[in-house]
Amino acid sequence: MTLTRLDEPSCRKVLAKLDSYIDNELLAESNLEILEHFRACPSCTGEAQQRRNVRTRLQTAVRDVKLPAGLEDRVRQRLRQSQPPKTTRFHLMAIAATLTVCVASWAAYHFASPRLATMNTVLQVGLNDHLHCAVIRQTANRPKLPTNKLAAEWHELVPVVERHVPGDLPFSLAHECQYRGRKFIHLTFRNDNSLLSLVIARKQDGESLAAANLLPALSHSGIPLYAAGSQQFQIAAFEEPQYLVFTISDLPAAKNLDLLIAMAPVVRKFLDKFGA
Protein backbone atom coordinates (compact mmCIF):
# COMPACT_ATOMS: atom_id res chain seq x y z
CA MET A 1 0.00 0.00 0.00
CA THR A 2 1.40 3.37 -0.97
CA LEU A 3 -0.20 5.83 1.39
CA THR A 4 2.35 8.56 0.76
CA ARG A 5 1.43 8.76 -2.88
CA LEU A 6 -2.16 9.59 -1.95
CA ASP A 7 -1.11 12.65 0.01
CA GLU A 8 0.11 14.48 -3.03
CA PRO A 9 -2.00 17.52 -3.92
CA SER A 10 -2.91 16.19 -7.37
CA CYS A 11 -4.02 12.89 -5.80
CA ARG A 12 -6.10 14.72 -3.21
CA LYS A 13 -7.85 16.58 -5.98
CA VAL A 14 -8.59 13.40 -7.87
CA LEU A 15 -9.73 11.52 -4.76
CA ALA A 16 -12.19 14.28 -3.94
CA LYS A 17 -13.83 13.68 -7.31
CA LEU A 18 -13.36 9.93 -7.45
CA ASP A 19 -16.85 8.97 -6.29
CA SER A 20 -18.45 11.23 -8.85
CA TYR A 21 -16.06 9.86 -11.46
CA ILE A 22 -16.99 6.22 -10.91
CA ASP A 23 -20.68 7.19 -10.91
CA ASN A 24 -20.19 8.94 -14.24
CA GLU A 25 -21.49 12.19 -12.76
CA LEU A 26 -18.58 14.41 -13.82
CA LEU A 27 -18.40 16.75 -16.74
CA ALA A 28 -16.40 15.47 -19.71
CA GLU A 29 -13.42 17.75 -19.03
CA SER A 30 -13.17 16.64 -15.41
CA ASN A 31 -13.29 13.05 -16.59
CA LEU A 32 -10.38 13.75 -18.91
CA GLU A 33 -8.37 15.33 -16.08
CA ILE A 34 -8.85 12.23 -13.99
CA LEU A 35 -7.98 9.86 -16.79
CA GLU A 36 -4.87 11.94 -17.38
CA HIS A 37 -3.94 11.56 -13.72
CA PHE A 38 -4.58 7.81 -13.76
CA ARG A 39 -2.02 7.42 -16.50
CA ALA A 40 0.69 8.73 -14.18
CA CYS A 41 -0.65 7.40 -10.87
CA PRO A 42 -1.16 3.68 -10.32
CA SER A 43 -2.19 4.40 -6.73
CA CYS A 44 -5.30 6.40 -7.69
CA THR A 45 -6.06 3.95 -10.49
CA GLY A 46 -5.99 1.19 -7.92
CA GLU A 47 -8.20 3.16 -5.57
CA ALA A 48 -10.81 3.69 -8.32
CA GLN A 49 -10.74 0.00 -9.09
CA GLN A 50 -11.22 -0.85 -5.41
CA ARG A 51 -14.19 1.44 -5.13
CA ARG A 52 -15.80 -0.13 -8.18
CA ASN A 53 -15.09 -3.50 -6.65
CA VAL A 54 -16.84 -2.55 -3.39
CA ARG A 55 -19.80 -1.27 -5.39
CA THR A 56 -20.09 -4.48 -7.38
CA ARG A 57 -19.89 -6.66 -4.27
CA LEU A 58 -22.48 -4.47 -2.54
CA GLN A 59 -24.86 -4.68 -5.51
CA THR A 60 -24.60 -8.46 -5.58
CA ALA A 61 -25.13 -8.80 -1.84
CA VAL A 62 -28.15 -6.49 -1.60
CA ARG A 63 -29.81 -7.65 -4.81
CA ASP A 64 -29.56 -11.26 -3.74
CA VAL A 65 -32.46 -10.66 -1.32
CA LYS A 66 -35.64 -12.05 -2.82
CA LEU A 67 -39.20 -10.94 -2.20
CA PRO A 68 -40.80 -13.08 0.54
CA ALA A 69 -43.23 -15.67 -0.82
CA GLY A 70 -46.77 -14.36 -1.01
CA LEU A 71 -45.90 -10.70 -0.41
CA GLU A 72 -46.74 -9.69 -3.95
CA ASP A 73 -50.18 -11.30 -3.57
CA ARG A 74 -50.70 -9.61 -0.21
CA VAL A 75 -49.89 -6.21 -1.70
CA ARG A 76 -52.32 -6.81 -4.58
CA GLN A 77 -55.01 -7.99 -2.21
CA ARG A 78 -54.67 -4.88 -0.08
CA LEU A 79 -54.83 -2.66 -3.15
CA ARG A 80 -58.01 -4.39 -4.31
CA GLN A 81 -59.62 -3.63 -0.95
CA SER A 82 -58.66 0.02 -1.20
CA GLN A 83 -60.54 2.69 -3.09
CA PRO A 84 -59.30 3.30 -6.62
CA PRO A 85 -57.41 6.50 -7.35
CA LYS A 86 -59.23 9.38 -8.94
CA THR A 87 -58.91 9.01 -12.66
CA THR A 88 -57.82 11.95 -14.74
CA ARG A 89 -59.29 10.58 -17.93
CA PHE A 90 -62.87 11.69 -17.45
CA HIS A 91 -62.59 15.40 -17.95
CA LEU A 92 -66.26 16.14 -17.39
CA MET A 93 -66.16 14.30 -14.10
CA ALA A 94 -63.02 16.20 -13.16
CA ILE A 95 -64.69 19.51 -13.91
CA ALA A 96 -67.77 18.48 -11.95
CA ALA A 97 -65.58 17.41 -9.02
CA THR A 98 -63.65 20.70 -9.15
CA LEU A 99 -66.89 22.63 -9.08
CA THR A 100 -68.09 20.59 -6.11
CA VAL A 101 -64.88 21.29 -4.23
CA CYS A 102 -65.10 25.00 -5.07
CA VAL A 103 -68.68 25.24 -3.86
CA ALA A 104 -67.92 23.21 -0.75
CA SER A 105 -64.86 25.35 0.00
CA TRP A 106 -66.84 28.51 -0.44
CA ALA A 107 -69.53 27.12 1.87
CA ALA A 108 -66.90 26.06 4.40
CA TYR A 109 -65.36 29.53 4.45
CA HIS A 110 -68.75 31.13 4.48
CA PHE A 111 -69.65 29.31 7.67
CA ALA A 112 -66.27 30.09 9.25
CA SER A 113 -65.02 26.52 9.07
CA PRO A 114 -61.89 25.14 7.49
CA ARG A 115 -62.18 23.08 4.34
CA LEU A 116 -64.03 19.93 5.19
CA ALA A 117 -64.92 18.81 1.71
CA THR A 118 -62.18 16.23 1.45
CA MET A 119 -62.07 15.09 5.04
CA ASN A 120 -63.45 11.73 6.00
CA THR A 121 -66.82 11.95 7.73
CA VAL A 122 -65.76 9.92 10.77
CA LEU A 123 -62.86 12.30 11.38
CA GLN A 124 -65.19 15.24 10.88
CA VAL A 125 -67.19 14.11 13.90
CA GLY A 126 -64.33 15.22 16.14
CA LEU A 127 -63.48 18.31 14.15
CA ASN A 128 -67.08 19.53 14.16
CA ASP A 129 -67.29 19.41 17.91
CA HIS A 130 -63.93 21.14 18.28
CA LEU A 131 -65.04 23.93 15.92
CA HIS A 132 -68.47 24.30 17.32
CA CYS A 133 -67.51 24.17 20.94
CA ALA A 134 -63.89 25.23 21.46
CA VAL A 135 -63.33 27.56 18.54
CA ILE A 136 -66.60 29.31 17.82
CA ARG A 137 -68.29 29.37 21.22
CA GLN A 138 -65.30 29.84 23.48
CA THR A 139 -63.72 32.64 21.51
CA ALA A 140 -66.73 34.76 22.38
CA ASN A 141 -66.22 36.78 25.55
CA ARG A 142 -68.06 34.87 28.15
CA PRO A 143 -68.02 34.94 31.93
CA LYS A 144 -65.67 32.48 33.62
CA LEU A 145 -67.32 29.17 34.32
CA PRO A 146 -66.17 26.31 36.51
CA THR A 147 -63.54 24.47 34.53
CA ASN A 148 -64.65 20.91 35.21
CA LYS A 149 -68.30 20.34 34.40
CA LEU A 150 -68.04 16.64 33.73
CA ALA A 151 -70.22 13.99 35.32
CA ALA A 152 -68.46 12.36 38.28
CA GLU A 153 -67.51 9.18 36.41
CA TRP A 154 -65.41 11.22 33.95
CA HIS A 155 -63.59 13.32 36.55
CA GLU A 156 -60.55 11.10 36.75
CA LEU A 157 -59.93 11.52 33.02
CA VAL A 158 -58.72 15.12 33.39
CA PRO A 159 -55.53 14.54 35.43
CA VAL A 160 -54.75 11.41 33.41
CA VAL A 161 -54.83 13.35 30.14
CA GLU A 162 -53.25 16.51 31.53
CA ARG A 163 -50.09 14.60 32.41
CA HIS A 164 -49.40 14.15 28.70
CA VAL A 165 -49.98 17.73 27.61
CA PRO A 166 -47.00 20.10 27.70
CA GLY A 167 -47.00 22.57 30.57
CA ASP A 168 -47.15 25.59 28.27
CA LEU A 169 -50.59 24.49 27.13
CA PRO A 170 -52.59 24.71 30.36
CA PHE A 171 -55.87 22.93 31.01
CA SER A 172 -58.78 25.19 30.25
CA LEU A 173 -62.10 23.38 30.34
CA ALA A 174 -63.67 19.94 30.63
CA HIS A 175 -67.31 19.44 29.93
CA GLU A 176 -69.93 17.37 28.23
CA CYS A 177 -71.27 19.06 25.14
CA GLN A 178 -73.80 18.36 22.48
CA TYR A 179 -73.60 18.99 18.79
CA ARG A 180 -76.06 17.77 16.16
CA GLY A 181 -77.74 15.49 18.63
CA ARG A 182 -74.56 13.75 19.69
CA LYS A 183 -72.93 14.02 23.09
CA PHE A 184 -69.21 14.58 23.47
CA ILE A 185 -66.74 14.53 26.30
CA HIS A 186 -64.54 17.52 25.59
CA LEU A 187 -61.32 18.60 27.27
CA THR A 188 -59.60 21.80 26.13
CA PHE A 189 -56.10 23.07 26.69
CA ARG A 190 -55.12 26.51 25.51
CA ASN A 191 -52.64 29.33 25.66
CA ASP A 192 -52.46 32.59 23.72
CA ASN A 193 -51.24 30.86 20.57
CA SER A 194 -52.65 27.35 20.54
CA LEU A 195 -55.76 25.40 21.26
CA LEU A 196 -55.96 21.67 21.81
CA SER A 197 -59.11 19.58 22.20
CA LEU A 198 -59.40 16.01 23.33
CA VAL A 199 -62.79 14.89 22.10
CA ILE A 200 -64.43 11.57 22.93
CA ALA A 201 -67.58 10.68 21.02
CA ARG A 202 -69.77 7.62 21.34
CA LYS A 203 -69.99 5.77 18.03
CA GLN A 204 -73.22 5.85 16.08
CA ASP A 205 -74.60 3.46 13.44
CA GLY A 206 -71.59 1.23 12.98
CA GLU A 207 -69.17 4.14 12.59
CA SER A 208 -65.61 2.97 12.38
CA LEU A 209 -62.28 4.46 11.42
CA ALA A 210 -61.00 1.07 10.29
CA ALA A 211 -63.98 0.60 7.94
CA ALA A 212 -63.75 4.15 6.59
CA ASN A 213 -61.03 3.26 4.11
CA LEU A 214 -58.50 5.40 5.91
CA LEU A 215 -54.84 4.58 6.14
CA PRO A 216 -53.57 4.52 9.70
CA ALA A 217 -50.73 6.99 10.09
CA LEU A 218 -49.12 4.47 12.38
CA SER A 219 -49.85 1.87 14.97
CA HIS A 220 -48.80 2.33 18.58
CA SER A 221 -49.09 -0.31 21.32
CA GLY A 222 -51.42 -2.14 18.93
CA ILE A 223 -53.67 0.93 18.55
CA PRO A 224 -54.00 2.11 14.93
CA LEU A 225 -53.90 5.91 14.84
CA TYR A 226 -55.34 7.99 12.04
CA ALA A 227 -54.43 11.52 11.08
CA ALA A 228 -55.73 14.22 8.80
CA GLY A 229 -55.31 17.92 8.41
CA SER A 230 -57.46 20.75 7.22
CA GLN A 231 -56.17 24.18 6.47
CA GLN A 232 -56.23 25.32 10.07
CA PHE A 233 -56.49 22.21 12.21
CA GLN A 234 -54.78 18.89 12.63
CA ILE A 235 -56.75 15.85 13.66
CA ALA A 236 -55.52 12.56 15.03
CA ALA A 237 -57.88 9.76 16.05
CA PHE A 238 -58.18 6.23 17.30
CA GLU A 239 -61.17 4.11 18.10
CA GLU A 240 -62.48 1.84 20.80
CA PRO A 241 -65.37 -0.56 20.37
CA GLN A 242 -67.80 2.09 21.66
CA TYR A 243 -65.92 5.36 21.23
CA LEU A 244 -64.03 7.59 18.86
CA VAL A 245 -61.18 9.55 20.43
CA PHE A 246 -59.66 12.64 18.77
CA THR A 247 -56.99 15.22 19.38
CA ILE A 248 -57.65 18.33 17.36
CA SER A 249 -55.42 21.37 17.46
CA ASP A 250 -53.72 24.11 15.56
CA LEU A 251 -50.35 22.59 16.51
CA PRO A 252 -48.09 21.05 13.83
CA ALA A 253 -49.40 17.71 12.54
CA ALA A 254 -46.60 15.65 14.09
CA LYS A 255 -47.05 17.31 17.48
CA ASN A 256 -50.80 16.76 17.39
CA LEU A 257 -50.29 13.09 16.54
CA ASP A 258 -47.60 12.72 19.22
CA LEU A 259 -50.02 13.99 21.84
CA LEU A 260 -52.56 11.33 20.89
CA ILE A 261 -49.83 8.68 20.86
CA ALA A 262 -48.94 9.67 24.41
CA MET A 263 -52.57 9.73 25.57
CA ALA A 264 -53.94 6.72 23.68
CA PRO A 265 -52.96 3.98 26.17
CA VAL A 266 -54.27 5.84 29.24
CA VAL A 267 -57.49 7.00 27.56
CA ARG A 268 -58.09 3.46 26.32
CA LYS A 269 -57.57 2.11 29.83
CA PHE A 270 -59.98 4.69 31.19
CA LEU A 271 -62.65 3.90 28.58
CA ASP A 272 -62.32 0.17 29.23
CA LYS A 273 -64.18 0.79 32.51
CA PHE A 274 -67.26 1.89 30.59
CA GLY A 275 -66.99 -0.89 28.05
CA ALA A 276 -67.10 -3.57 30.73
Partner 1 sequence: MSSWAGGSAPPFLQAAAPVQDDRSPEQRFEAEAMPHLNDLFRTALRMTGERGQAEDILQEVYLQAWRSFDRFSAGTNCRAWLYKILFHCVSHHRRRWFRFPLLKEKEEFLEANLVQPPSVHDQVTDGEILNALDAIPVEFRSVVLLVDVEEFAYKDVAAILAIPIGTVMSRLSRGRGLLRKQLAEVARSYGIGKSAQKDNRL
* Interacting residues toward partner 1 by CB under 8 A: 1-3, 6-7, 12, 15-16, 18-20, 23, 25, 43, 46-47, 49-51, 53-55, 57-68, 71-72, 74-76, 78-79, 82-88, 215, 217-218, 220, 227-229, 253-254, 261
Give the C-alpha separation, 134 to 15, whole Å.
62
Nearer to partner 1, 2 or 178 (CB): 2
Strands laid side by side in the 171-179 sheet: 171-179, 182-190, 195-202, 243-249, 234-239, 223-229, 218-220
Amino acid at the residue 70:
G
- Give the three-state DSSP class for 176: strand
Nearer to partner 1, 19 or 36 (CB): 19
Amino acid at the residue 75:
V
Nearest to 127 by CA among 1, 226, 270: 226
Nearer to partner 1, 146 or 222 (CB): 222
Minimum CB–partner distance for residue 243 and partner 1 (Å): 23
What length is written for the chain? Answer: 276
Nearer to partner 1, 83 or 141 (CB): 83
Nearer to partner 1, 46 or 265 (CB): 46
Nearer to partner 1, 187 or 248 (CB): 248
Helix axes 42-63, 28-40, angle to 10 degrees: 120
Minimum CB–partner distance for residue 65 and partner 1 (Å): 4
State phi, psi for 83 to the nearest 5 degrees. -70, 145
Helices (H), 90-191: 91-110, 121-129, 138-139, 157-162
Minimum CB–partner distance for residue 177 and partner 1 (Å): 28
Return the number of other C-beta atoms located less than 10 Å from residue 38's C-beta: 18
Minimum CB–partner distance for residue 104 and partner 1 (Å): 19
> Are the beta carbons of 200 and 215 closer than 8 angstroms?
no
